[in-house]
Amino acid sequence: MPIDVVTGPGVPASHLPFSPAVRAGGFVFVSGQASVDARGAIVADDFAGQMRRSFANVERVLAGAGLGLAHVVQVRSYLRRAEDVDEYNRIYAQLLGSHRPARTTITGCLPAPLDYEVDVIAYVGP
pLDDT digits (tens, 9 = 90+) for 41-94: 899 999 999 999 999 999 999 999 999 999 999 999 999 999 999 999 999 999
Are the C-beta atoms of 116 and 54 separated by less than 8 Å? Answer: yes
pLDDT for position 115: 98
pLDDT of residue 92: 98
Q: How far apart are CA 60 and CA 12, in angstroms?
A: 8
To the nearest whole number, what is the mean pLDDT of the chain? 93
Give the pLDDT mean for 5-24. 84
Domain containing 113 — which CATH number? 3.30.1330.40
Q: What would the mean pLDDT of 92-105 be, rounded to a whole number?
A: 97
Q: Which pLDDT score is estimated for 1?
A: 67
The tally of domains found in the chain comes to 1
Integer Cα distance of 81 and 68 in angstroms: 28
Domain that residue 67 falls in: 3-123
DSSP 35: S
The mean per-residue pLDDT over the stretch 20-40 comes to: 92
The whole model's pTM is what?
0.94
